[in-house]
């Protein structure tokens, strides 16, 4: 049941809107059916995207909380909206990979689909202007991001990967890679934020290898609406 009314809009991107609520510590995120890729060079929209992203994020944040991972999630308000804690976000995108795909295949020249010998964690700067470059700890230090925060990001990424790899495996899905973000609450605690959805993860069917994520849109493969619906069905039953 909705408990938080959407107030002033604080942010509007292609894929979501973020609203203030009557509690300054609580934000309302509304997921939209619109999408961009390649730093907004490619645009599109399909029915059910916002619903999948909101409902899958809610289900996965709940699962992670139950397994001891602190997250920003508070509640699901309706089919396309969740409320979260209002965090100070780190300027970091944490990417964790189990199988070579996308930019990793291009970076180190290994074929998409090659399993990695151990998970790889990458830390990227959250900057549309710079194209979210992958940085070293030393680069982040120059930008004022403390080493302890980077270590937290890496450890959180690996813990989330462990939990979600088995969560999705039970649903017949290979978790190829994913991106998460981290924020700090007013008490100073760091926690998982943003979303976990087919926009921010690569999901491949374990039996057929079929892609069930945003790569269908990025690569003009067709069937994107069906893929998002299938992922929601597998996660929420
Ligand atoms: P990449 O192979 O393009 O670097 O993507 C790695 C993972 O991160 C993939 O699951 C998609 C996700 N991702 C985002 O969520 N946002 C982004 O802006 C990018 C580039 C990737």
Ligand 1 binding pocket includes 105 (Cβ within 6 Å): no
Distance 179 CA to ligand 1 centre (A): 6
Ligand 1 binding pocket includes 161 (Cβ within 6 Å): no
What is the fold of 88-223?
D-amino Acid Aminotransferase; Chain A, domain 1 (3.30.470)
Neighbours of 95 (CB within 10 A): 20
d(CA 103, CA 171): 26
Ligand 1 binding pocket includes 45 (Cβ within 6 Å): no
CA dihedral 125→75→158→36, nearest 10 degrees, is: -40
Distance 160 CA to ligand 1 centre (A): 16
**Number of residues written out for the chain:** 237
Ligand 1 binding pocket includes 96 (Cβ within 6 Å): no
Q: CB-side exposure of 86: number of CA atoms within 13 Å? A: 14
Distance 216 CA to ligand 1 centre (A): 13
The predicted pLDDT at position 2 comes to: 47
Q: Which residues of the chain have pLDDT under 50?
A: 1-2
Domain ranges of the chain: 9-85, 88-223
Q: Among 129, 200, 201, 215, which residue has the most ligand 1 atoms within 8 Å of its CB, making it the best to mutate?
A: 200
| Contact (Cβ atoms closer than 8 angstroms) between residue 87 and residue 167 | no
pLDDT digits (tens, 9 = 90+) for 1-35: 345 778 999 999 999 999 999 999 999 999 999 99
Q: Among 96, 179, 193, 199, which residue has the most ligand 1 atoms within 8 Å of its CB, making it the best to mutate?
A: 179
Q: Which CATH superfamily is domain 9-85 in?
A: Phosphorylase Kinase; domain 1 (3.30.200.20)
Distance 219 CA to ligand 1 centre (A): 13
């Amino acid at each position: 049941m909705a408990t938080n009314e959407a107030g002033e809009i604080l942010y509007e991107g292609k894929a979501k809107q973020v609203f203030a609520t009557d509690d300054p510590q609580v934000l309302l995120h509304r997921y939209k059916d619109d999408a961009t890729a390649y730093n907004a060079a490619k645009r599109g929209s399909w029915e059910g995207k916002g619903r999948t992203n909101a409902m899958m994020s809610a289900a996965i944040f709940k699962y992670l909380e139950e397994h001891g991972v602190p997250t920003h999630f508070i509640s699901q308000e309706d089919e396309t909206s969740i409320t979260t804690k209002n965090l100070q976000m780190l300027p970091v995108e944490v990417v964790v990979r189990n199988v070579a795909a996308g930019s990793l295949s291009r970076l180190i020249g290994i074929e998409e689909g090659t399993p990695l010998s151990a998970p790889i964690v990458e830390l990227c700067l959250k900057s549309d202007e710079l194209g979210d470059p992958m940085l070293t700890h030393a680069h982040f230090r120059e930008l004022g991001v403390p080493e302890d925060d980077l270590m937290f990001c890496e450890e959180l990424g690996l813990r989330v990967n462990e939990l979600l790899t088995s969560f999705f495996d039970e649903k017949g899905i290979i978790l190829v890679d994913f991106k998460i973000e981290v924020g700090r609450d007013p008490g100073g605690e760091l926690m998982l934020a943003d979303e976990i959805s087919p926009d921010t993860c690569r999901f491949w069917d374990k039996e057929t290898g079929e892609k069930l994520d945003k790569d269908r849109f990025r690569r003009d493969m067709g069937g994107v609406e069906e893929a998002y619906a299938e992922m929601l069905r597998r996660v929420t039953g």
